[in-house]
Amino acid sequence: MHRVLVYRRKFLPRSETFIYEQLLGHGQVKPLVLTRQRPFNRKQFPYSPVYVRKRMAGLSPWLRRQRIKCLHARFGPAGLELLPYARKTGIPLITSFHGFDATKRVRGNPRYRRALRRLFHRGKAFTVVSDQMRRRLIRLGCPAKKITLLRSGIDLRKFPMQPPQPVENEAYRLLSVGRLTEKKGMDTLIRAFASVRKKHPRARLIIVGEGEEKRKLRRLIKKYQLGKQVVLKGALPHHVVQRELAKCHLFVIACKTARNGDKEGIPNVLMEAMASGRPVVSTYHSGIPELVRHKETGYLVPERSPAKLGRMLDHVLDSRDEWPEVTARAREKVERNHNIDKQRAKLEELYLRVMKK
């Protein structure tokens, strides 16, 4: 088994299931995890071995002792941290970009942007989660031939196609899942739901997640007198999110570009909702239109438009006859492009190709 070192500075935030899933199930390589602090969320992400090094001094001889054949940095800043050790040891370096590291960080830090050119020149390979991010890296100076499109994937066994939830007395249950940060657009969603309530007074919105915008969202709920219709459930374990998806009628997430330039890749929870047979409503943001095709595999509206989002939600709730075809095409799309087994195989192939070179 070839030994690959996967470096994630924090192992592992609750939202980064996509990283955990790509550690598992390899046939010819064995990933070892390196992190800078004590691992957390271990029940959600049980993995071994995980090595903790608060300082990187002495990393080169350690890599040799561990017989590491490939380095894999998760996020651009991690790639820059590992680059000196890749040069010292001659071990090939792969860097995966996921979102903020190709948008917000570039815009807000000119030194980081300049350093990326060095990484693009000396790194052996780079992965991105969408065609949109691939184009972004090329504009930043990354050679196109070094980029591999490695889409986020989900374990379809955990998200089987669910039967439609019955609707009693128009009591629709809308669900949104994501960190309560600006780019997730939860404020846009709450404003949109305020108009949805006028036409569908028995509808409820469940929001799962924690983050710095929680107080702001509570103020909006109070402002629009939605205390009985909108529930902030906080962060929930992944298996509980699966149950929430099964219970809801419609999934919605209103992603937008944050004022500091931060953007999404493609939220995994959209794939999970689509795989579960739930109609999804989202925005024309980043790589989302590569997954959600308007009126084919879901529904899309422009970013930062509560009025348009509200009208779209009303339309979807009133068009239940469309749901079976849309959800069937959505499930097929996820099976074709976001099956974690296919994406793991693609990653393993990249590891072997880089090590062979």
What is the model's pLDDT at position 126? 98
Q: What confidence tens digit (pLDDT) does each residue in 157-192 have?
A: 999 999 999 999 999 999 999 999 999 999 999 999
CATH 3.40.50.2000 in the chain is located at 2-153+339-356, 173-337
CATH 2.40.70.10 matches 2-153+339-356? no
Which CATH class, in words, describes the domain spanning 173-337? alpha beta
Q: What confidence tens digit (pLDDT) does each residue in 223-270 have?
A: 999 999 999 999 998 899 999 999 999 999 999 999 999 999 899 999
Tell me the whole-structure pTM to 2 decimals.
Answer: 0.94
What is the model's pLDDT at position 75? 97
What is the model's pLDDT at position 357? 75
On whether the CB atoms of residues 92 and 357 are closer than 8 A, the answer is: yes
Q: What confidence tens digit (pLDDT) does each residue in 90-129 have?
A: 999 999 999 889 998 999 899 999 999 999 999 999 999 9
pLDDT confidence bin for 196, thresholds 50/70/90: very high
pLDDT confidence bin for 147, thresholds 50/70/90: very high
Q: What is the mean pLDDT of residues 345-351?
A: 98
| 3-state SS assignment for residue 295 | coil
What is the model's pLDDT at position 353? 97
What is the model's pLDDT at position 108? 85
Matching residue, tokens 């049980």: 46
* CA–CA separation, 284 and 302 (whole Å): 5
Q: What is the mean pLDDT of residues 2-18?
A: 95
61 contact partners, CB below 8 Å, separation of at least 6: none
Q: Are strands 299-301 and 230-234 parallel, antiparallel or unpaired?
A: unpaired
On whether the CB atoms of residues 204 and 190 are closer than 8 A, the answer is: no
What is the model's pLDDT at position 228? 94
Terminal Cα-to-Cα distance of the chain (whole angstroms): 17
On whether the CB atoms of residues 153 and 19 are closer than 8 A, the answer is: no
Q: What confidence tens digit (pLDDT) does each residue in 279-335 have?
A: 999 999 999 999 999 999 999 999 999 999 999 999 999 999 999 999 999 999 999
In 3D, which of 222, 223, 192, 220 has the Cα closest to residue 315?
192
Q: What confidence tens digit (pLDDT) does each residue in 34-48 have?
A: 999 999 999 999 999
